[in-house]
Structure 1
Amino acid sequence: MFLDLYWPIHDAWQARLLDGGFVDFEDMLVQAADHLESGRYVSPYRLVMVDELQDASRARARLTQALVRQPGRHLLAVGDDWQSINRFAGADLSVVTRFHDHFGPGPTVHLTKTFRCHQSISDTAARFVGKNPDQLTKGVVSVNDRPVDPAAHEGVQLRSIPSAAEVPRAIGDFLDQLRDAIHEGHITGDSVSVDVLGRYNQDRSLMPRVSPRGVRLAFRTIHSAKGLEADYVVVPNLSAGSYAFPSRIADDPVLALAITEGDSYPHAEERRLFYVALTRARRGVLLISPEHNPSPFVTELIQDGLVQDVGPRPVATPCPGCRVGVLRPRSGRTGHFWGCSTFPACTYTSNTLPLAGVSLPTRTTQRPPF
């Protein structure tokens, strides 16, 4: 049905371009590659340089290939597959991960030093995003490797809250703590920048109404924050659900006709988006999560010992069965027990409550649905 609707619009669009002598952007790429591949145009450039290669679509990769296909041509490309977050716009991760298959043999230089993040932030972000075997393996070393200063709210911290309605207050409390840290001399300088990074534009509604003196506050989506930085980053809506993080909104199947297949690792691009969010911060990151409905990313960070919960009440214990849900008290025919919040997707149950970072009980039961 989609194609029946699409082709008349496509044909009308192409006719309009032809009548007006116009060309759209994608056609520029394709037609330019056609000219180069056919020999109708020979590029005079011996060196082609490409930045942000992880955002390249197949059409852009094809044009780049065509520019360097003649003898004596060289390609210098810079890109980071861990920051590939634009698949919706046609970006093809394999252009980086299978670079030599696309462009031929050549040396690779790993840029492993970061001048932005504290080492603790870099380590947390790298361990999280580096689990995907479809990505390149690399280490990242920060020029700032001194110990974390808790009084300056450095590193990655988690604050659990009762509900999403508490997010503005949690952000406001954090801003007040930064103001106090500046006043007490724990933070050098007379001001800091704080970026609240939302998964969606609608997360802007979670912002507090005012910001204390000495704190420069801004809201951005994580996509728009790529390439930017701030002293501190707040990720305000780390909950589970459709409009949460990771997003569970499935792409429309018709998009498969136009964009490349994603890699098979669960939430692969959402994980890279989370990595981008974490690594925008120079000093510290605050993650805010509801205690009874945390994001799978939060439960994973807790289980891996990568984050400290500074909230008044800790996030519920992650389910050791699926590592996605959390354990909640339930009752059944045989009494009380702990079960996964994602039931029936996960049927893990236990008679005792395992604690994050503590050995799990060996005796568990599988109970029928009630």
Structure 2
Amino acid sequence: MRFKPSSKALVGVDISSTAVKLVELSRIGTQFQIENYTVEPLRHGAVVERRISDIDEVVSGLGAALDRVRPKTRQAVAMVPSSAAITKRLTLPAGLSDAEIEVRIQLESDKHIPFPFSEVAFDFQRLAHGEGSDGQQEVLLVACRQQDVEQLSAILARAGLVPAVVDVETFAIERAFALLAPLLAPAATADEAVALVDIGASQSVLHVLYGGSLIYSRDNAVGGHQLTETISERYGLTLEAAEMAKREESLPVDYPAQVLTPFIATLAEQITRSLQFYYTAGRPYVVKQMVLVGGSSVVRGLAEHLTKICAMPVTVANPLEEMRCAARVDRQSLASAAPSLLGACGLAMRAPA
């Protein structure tokens, strides 16, 4: 089954382990405008390790988000995680039509896709314009399990949305990173890369981008929920109360030294270890800047600590900083939520001019 294309404006829906994040963008000329956004918490356990385990809870959360912001369009795009998708560059004869490429992929699927073709949702894109000197062309193949696409489409539909596109996390990140690139320091040399660290609730992911393309990703099992659990255990709070106290910074005086600092050290150690794995893999591009995104990237002191131990500039991203806002959008509240909206923003950016 081919992924379904779209030619209409879209609402980006990012389903994470802790929340449903929704962003609606419009275009004014060549610029995006933020029409709506919201973050709706999910019950703990509804999404585990990027897999949806409680569909009803996710549908309920998405419905609540839609009731709050009432987007202008019902056309929506969601995404499968990068770990659930396969992307490969194929070299094929330049004269093949799209229909012939599709047949070729199906006939040779066992070379590229590790599960039966009857279970596959896929799409492809020609990467080169025209015919190469050797009569070949490069085609990017993207595939995942059809059941993942169907599950996301069903969730969108049950919440009252029209499932227009199912994207892949990698491409949403690349799209949104284009908003961050102008805010970064210019590369001093041609081999400089940028680390984008997505710090979520249950895990953190180090992405390395070069020239706007994602070239490396590595997960680790440290995220903001570990800090919440430590707060809960140390101060005898429920997880819900601990999460609220963490966000409001309404904790005892020993919290910075006894809880926050050790957590930051552990998280920083995992991030630097992921960077070491990147270099061990023989990548030629040197990481000179780091950008933090995700709901837990705003932990007080984290960016400063990473700046010291990684010896490079580290900033917390606001992918929406340069965008116009509709009158209904509170810019101050948006700035607080923005680091967690990278994925939803990248999805909404699929909307055409």
Q: If each structure's strand is expressed as a fraction of its own residues, which one has the higher value?
A: 2
Decide which structure has the larger Cα Rg and report it. 1
State the TM-score, normalized to the length of structure 1. 0.24
State the TM-score, normalized to the length of structure 2. 0.25
Q: Which has the higher contact order (CA 8 A, sep 6+)?
A: 2
